[in-house]
Amino acid sequence: MSSRHFVSFNRDKVQGEFGAYAKQYDESIQSPETFWKEAASSLHWFEEPQTVLQRNKNNSHFHDWFPDGKINTSFNCLDVHVNDGRGDQNALIYDSPMTGKKEEYTYKELLEKVSLFGGALQNDLGVQPGDRVVIYMPLIPQAAIAMLACARIGAVHSVVFGGFASHELSNRIDHSTPKVIITASCGIEPSRIVPYRPILDDALRFSKHEVESVVVIQRRDVEECELGPLDADYDELMKDATPVQALPLPSTHPHYILYTSGTTGLPKGVLRDTGGHATALKYSMNAFYSTRPGDVFWAASDIGWVVGHSYLIYGPLLHGCTTIMYEGKPIGTPDQGSFWRIVEEYKVKTMFTAPTAFRAIKQADPHSEFAKKYNLESLENLFLAGEHSDPETIRWLERTLPHIPSPIDHWWQTELGWPAVGNAAGLGRVPIRYGSCSMPVTGFEVSIFDDEGNAMAPNELGNMVIKTPLPPGSLKTLYKDDKRFIEKYLEKYPGYYDCGDAAFIDEDGYISIMGRTDDIINVAGHRLSTGAMEEVLLEHPSVADCAVIPVRDEIKGQLPFGFVVCSKDTGPVDHKKICDDLVKMVREKLGPVAAFKNVTVIECGLPKTRSGKVRYILRRLVLYDPKDLI
């Protein structure tokens, strides 16, 4: 098996302030222990680690970062800043257009509440270090308090997206065997209230594991629920709680379990450590996101996803920023100016969201009329991740936000925990290339292999892999399933982590990630990317959103099928003409080998999973025969 340190590709061709990035990247690859020891020194350690990286002598697949150090993430998120004089700075801002409620918590106030709730969990409910706590919550401040309180006392939290179906919630309860579940009376969607207690009750009935206690946050301004025999009222617990100090924990102590979306069979729980996780996130806030302590950082995500863990809660608070918790949608709460209002009102400097959000705004407001109503001068950087960012959406954002550099499309996974490929704004941006996520992030040595493990030539589509050991912040293993962890990620390409994504690297080292390998279409032996086809479709002036999936074909094996949604201002639509135009565009851009002949216009919008994935749900809905889709 061969690989290459691809950043060396024609480095002189890459213009801009490349030096700082290249220096740090090379140090992280060539001397990882020295590099990460320096990064870890920015945190407060109860016991400084003497060993940086320890490989398992019995199993080369496993390793530990800072194994002899002791640290606490909650202490670094809160106490450190209060002790350093930032106690009166806002740590968390909550904004809910669903309820009209807005709340602000200074670092001092948030520390007080987290310490109290940590005391309630530890002293009143008997939660000990290593016990699991499931958090089944909407996007409200008590969710952040619960996460930080668990970290404070060494409990291992497992956040489940609020409103997740009872069967899936039951699977996660049985797998993580929590001592306590923390929930709320309800969540809110734009058109309805979602009572959580009935869902949780069903999940508990389905579960074999018996939970000792359920803590309920009553949303009294929205909808309350009846308390059962296992239930404790959050407000009552807080009244009688005694605050607790942060517990010094081994760096290797499990910090949280997060179950990835789209799993089947046994749940796939990503297990994160404590010290490595805090080190990576703290480092990334400045080096990658170019964010300073005191800045307002907004990750428009939910705590049920890894972005919510890393960059709504832990990353910004570790770095001394103000983070925003927005309980709303990109459009419809109340209009397509919702995101712009948040930027203006709270003077957001760094924003991070999924491309899906801006495609929805672009569809509803193609000429950015709502953006013109707000003062967006505070915004310095915009980051996109979670799915492929098509060039047309990037160009629309450039027109909408001409005062900032081009939005940065970057790539990572639940398993990795923080960015692995992207333009490191804090180390000097390299010039963008539309459709590419730019360069590998510090610590991640990326290659592209064929199915046999041979390195691909520049611009050849293949399997994206990362050399192991992975840098701090990446998953330790899958919870209760080391065997599956090894089989899924590490066995296919020995010495490398299999990302499960299809990508190519150009001659200058720019990485273009085209989607999951199961979204690569094999047309008569030719490997074609659905992401590349979607980029072409989105260049059409009438197309606001789209998805391409494979369908079965008796002769060629698979053929691509496209679904498109038209912009709001398109007017009367000649569906046949648009479809004919799209087929012609794909043929001209990608060639006849793409065999793109089937496309249809959808009036009502594309179906999406809660995390914004379109192809996944379409592939489950359709019958995979083109004749059935027309």
What residues make up the domain containing 612? 524-629
Location of structure tokens 């005191």 = 294
Identify whether 141 is preceded by a cis peptide bond (ω within 30 of 0): no
Is residue 274 within 8 A of residue 251, CB to CB? The reply is yes
Q: Count of H helices and E strands in the chain?
A: 20, 31
- The encoded tokens of residue 181 equal 């579940």
In this structure, what CATH number is given to the domain that contains residue 619?
Answer: 3.30.300.30
Identify whether 402 is preceded by a cis peptide bond (ω within 30 of 0): no
Is residue 13 within 8 A of residue 508, CB to CB? The reply is yes
Is 59 contained in some domain?
A: no
> What is the predicted pLDDT for the residue at 629?
45
> What is the predicted pLDDT for the residue at 609?
56
CA pair distance 441, 411, nearest whole angstrom: 10
φ, ψ of residue 539 in degrees (nearest 5): -75, -20
φ, ψ of residue 159 in degrees (nearest 5): -85, 130
CA pair distance 620, 602, nearest whole angstrom: 17
Is 337 contained in some domain?
A: no
CA pair distance 115, 144, nearest whole angstrom: 12
Low-confidence ranges of the chain (pLDDT < 50): 1-11, 13-17, 262-264, 623-630
Q: How far apart are the first and last CA of the chain?
A: 45
> What is the predicted pLDDT for the residue at 387?
75
Residue 167: CB atoms within 10 A of its CB come to 11
> What three-state secondary structure class fits 106?
strand
CA pair distance 321, 621, nearest whole angstrom: 42
Calculate Rg over the CA atoms of the chain. Answer: 24
- Which residue, 291, 314, 333, sits at the end of a domain? 291
State the DSSP H helix or E strand holding residue 530, giving kind and residue range, or none if neither: helix 530-537
- The encoded tokens of residue 307 equal 């972005």
To the nearest whole number, what is the mean pLDDT of the chain? 89
Whole-number Cα distances in Å, 68 to 39, 57, 63, 249:
16, 16, 13, 10
CA pair distance 446, 28, nearest whole angstrom: 13
Report the number of distinct structural domains present in the chain: 2
> What is the predicted pLDDT for the residue at 603?
79
Is 423 contained in some domain?
A: no
In this structure, what CATH number is given to the domain that contains residue 211?
Answer: 3.40.50.12780
Going by their DSSP bridges, the two strands 381-384 and 350-353 should be labelled as parallel
HEC string for 423-479: CCHHHCCCCCCCCCCECECCCCCEEEECCCCCECCCCCCEEEEEECCCCCCCCCEEC
> What is the predicted pLDDT for the residue at 265?
55
Is 131 contained in some domain?
A: yes
φ, ψ of residue 161 in degrees (nearest 5): -50, 125
What are 104-145's pLDDT values in tens digits? 999 999 999 999 999 999 999 999 999 999 999 999 999 999
Residues 6+ apart with CB under 8 A from 168: 160
- Which residue, 256, 272, 291, sits at the end of a domain? 291
> What is the predicted pLDDT for the residue at 235?
97
Is 221 contained in some domain?
A: yes
According to DSSP, residue 412 is labeled -
> What is the predicted pLDDT for the residue at 552?
74
- Which residue, 291, 307, 323, sits at the end of a domain? 291
How many CA atoms are closer than 13 Å to the CA of 347, on its beta-carbon side? Answer: 5
Tell me the pTM: 0.85
> What is the predicted pLDDT for the residue at 628?
44
Is 605 contained in some domain?
A: yes
Is 513 contained in some domain?
A: no
Is 184 contained in some domain?
A: yes
Is residue 207 within 8 A of residue 170, CB to CB? The reply is yes
φ, ψ of residue 449 in degrees (nearest 5): -115, 155
